[in-house]
Amino acid sequence: MKKIELEIYGIAPSHMNGSYSLIMSEIDGGRKLPIIIGQFEAHAIAIPLEGINIDRPLTHDLFLTFSKSFEFSVSEVFIHLLKEGVFYASLVCEKEGKTLTIDCRTSDAIAIAVRFNCPIYTTDSIMETASIEMDDNSIQKPGRDTTENERVNPKEVNPYSKLSLDELENLLDNAIRNEDYLKAAQIRDEIDKRN
């Protein structure tokens, strides 16, 4: 079975209320794999990518601390099955030369992969079945975009552009307090543009 390495390409609101599309992109190709995840799962993935500091650790952060304490690592995430529209994933863990594969929800596996900085793989057959072509402008790319040719959708209006820095700082504090980390990242980016 041929493994395809993926990277997180972006997170976009889904047409289903309260859910998001996590867009994975094959590293050596142009196919995109959308995975529907919940709001909390989207936040868990976006927080480390966006560099947002939170007061208390999330479950995935706790898993990272736990693994360090017991001296094991996650060497890869493998999205190995697509059944009735549901993706199935495994964590491949290693300790002292031994490998253990653990069943995991795909959104949790990806949130853990981000924290361990380990590769994410799927199968070619899953990519053949579920990958799509999509417009780059519809994606909110996680992390800070350092490219000079950043694409902007002209239909999008920046709701923060007319607010003062003090208003933005207050909104940022509220967004973090309410654990709306995607909104916090957008506000942080607006503040960074002005500094």
Residue 153's pLDDT is what? 40
Residue with tokens 């490219």: 147
Residue 108 to residue 114: CA distance in whole angstroms? 10
Residue 86 to residue 116: CA distance in whole angstroms? 24
Report the greatest alpha carbon distance in the chain.
56
Q: Which domains does the chain have, with CATH numbers?
A: 3-143 (3.10.690.10), 154-195 (no CATH)
Each residue's pLDDT tens digit, 112-161: 999 999 999 999 999 999 998 765 555 555 554 434 334 334 334 567 77
Amino acid identity of residue 107, one-letter, is S
Residue 72 to residue 64: CA distance in whole angstroms? 10
